[in-house]
A = this chain, B = another copy of it.
Amino acid sequence: MKLLEERIRRDGIVMEGNVLKVDSFLNHQMDVDLFAEMGKEFKRLFADRPINKILTIEASGIGIACITAQEFHVPVVFAKKAQSINLAGETYVTKVESFTHKRVYDVVVAKKFLGPEDHVLVIDDFLANGSAANGLIDLLISAGATVEGVGIAVEKGFQPGGKLIRDKGIRVESLAIVESMDPATGEIVFRKQ
């Protein structure tokens, strides 16, 4: 998606340690007009799939997921990173390792919100090592739901997550795939799609 690639080139900051900061428009400050265009693109890419629910993970996936869900007119469920006293009743649980925070989280979804009748699009802001996306797919498998696809804003193509998930036969659509990036020059090369 040209609009997103151009925005990453303009406002993204390449840092040491394979960190791409896009916090001015994607995951701390959020440009909702950009999100609306991203939502339309996800709708176009997954138009042939019978999606009735979107699943994301807190916190930075929620904004993109909600605005994308407006295109599909389906509810969003977000997986939570810790057990809450408000999450009474049974939950599906998996573990996710955060690339950013260098921590392993328990990630939960209330069972009543995912079941065999659901055809789910997974949405997240980043795909790097694939831990979050794999965790969400685990939750969907536990629920007996159908994984219709994974929609990602920014994929780091030089990390293994995208290949891991595609090798499972799951359709992954990333709006921008970073093939390489150089913290010394700030240069970002995108995969041709």
Tell me the A residues contacting B by CB distance below 8 Å: 15, 19, 21, 23-25, 28-33, 35-36, 58-59, 62-63, 65-67, 69-70, 73-78, 80, 82, 84-88, 100-102, 109-110, 112-113
With a CB–CB cut-off of 8 A, which chain B residues contact A113? 24, 28-29
Q: Is there contact, CB below 8 Å, between B23 and A86?
A: yes
Count of this chain's copies in the oligomeric assembly? 2
- Which B-chain residue is minimally distant from A33 (CB atoms)? B73
Identify whether the interface residues of A are mostly helix, strand, loop, or mixed: mixed
Whether the pair B78, A100 counts as a contact (CB closer than 8 A) is: no
* CB <8 Å contact, A28 and B63: no
CA of A87 to CA of B60, assembled, Å: 13
Chain B residues contacting A74 (CB-CB under 8 Å) are 32
Is A35 within 8 A of B85, CB to CB? no
Is A75 touching B32 in the complex (CB atoms < 8 A)? Answer: yes
Q: Is the CB of B19 within 8 A of A86?
A: yes
| Cα distance, A31 to B110, chains bound together (Å) | 16
Q: Which residues from chain B contact A100 at a C-beta distance below 8 Å?
A: 84-86
In Å, the complex CA distance between A75 and B58 comes to 19
- Shortest CB distance A104–B (Å): 15
Find out whether the CB atom of B80 lies under 8 angstroms from the CB atom of A28. Answer: yes
In the complex, chain B residues whose CB is within 8 Å of the CB of A110:
23, 28-29
